[in-house]
Amino acid sequence: MNKTAIALLALLASSASLAATPWQKITQPVPGSAQSIGSFSNGCIVG
């Protein structure tokens, strides 16, 4: 039973790291001037 719990915890930990999207892997701003995308209520800034 102890091995099963360890295997389950390892599976949960590895699945969380594999679920990262490509956008989450960006660590610095993209080059270029800043631009707003979307509206003021649901938008973001690029650059």
30: CB partners within 8 A, 6+ apart: 46, 47
Residue 41: give the domain boundaries: 22-47
Q: What are the tens digits of pLDDT across the range 2-31?
A: 899 888 888 777 766 666 777 777 888 888
Residue with structure tokens 């509206």?
39
User: Count of domains in the chain?
Assistant: 1
Q: Is residue 35 part of a domain?
A: yes
Q: Is residue 31 part of a domain?
A: yes
* Global confidence as pTM: 0.34
User: How far apart are alpha carbons 25 and 18 in whole angstroms?
Assistant: 11
Q: Is residue 1 part of a domain?
A: no
Q: Is residue 42 part of a domain?
A: yes
